[in-house]
Amino acid sequence: MRRCEYCLALEAFSPGGYCIEHVLPVAAGGDSDPENLAFACAGCNAHKSDKTAAVDPVTRRSFRLFHPRRDRWARHFAWSADTFHVDGITGIGRASVLALKLNRPALVNLRRLLLREGLHPPVP
């Protein structure tokens, strides 16, 4: 089953459409080379928009956002103890959690339901 490469939500259980998005936005000079494309849910795509960086709330420094082609998800993110929230474990991870709102209420609710069905948490 296909998942958003940012929040890892399953396409099959998400009512919003998914898209192929530009990791480095076209507005920032990104091209359509496969190295710059990612599969994203509508929420992550909308919140990411043309952002390329965000502030890490812990260090208050600006970090580039997570890059699905170049970064490993588990290097920058981990599931909370109850697995309903994505925790950033690096500056890039924390900045990306905030910028893309990876713990939107609907995502948390979906994770709760999918846990009951044995479909969450995914193994990144």
Binding to Zn ion (CB under 5 A) within 88-107 occurs at none
DSSP reduced 3-state for 19: strand
How far is it, in rounded angstroms, from Cα 60 to Cα 91?
9
Backbone angles phi and psi of 62, in degrees to 5: -85, 135
Q: How far is the CB of 43 from Zn ion (least distance, A)?
A: 6
Stretch touching Zn ion by CB under 5 A, among 41-49, 67-75, 85-93, 108-116: 41-49
Q: Are 10 and 1 in contact (CB under 8 A)?
A: yes
Single residue of 23, 38, 41, 97 touching Zn ion by CB under 5 A: 41
Nearer to Zn ion, 6 or 63 (CB): 6
Stretch touching Zn ion by CB under 5 A, among 5-13, 17-25, 47-55, 78-86: 5-13
Listing DSSP states for 18-51 in one string gives EEEEESS-GGGT----GGGEEEEEHHHHHHHTT-
Number of residues that bind Zn ion (CB under 5 A): 5
Is residue 44 a contact residue for Zn ion (CB under 5 A)? yes
Where does this chain bind Zn ion (CB under 5 A)? 4, 6-7, 41, 44
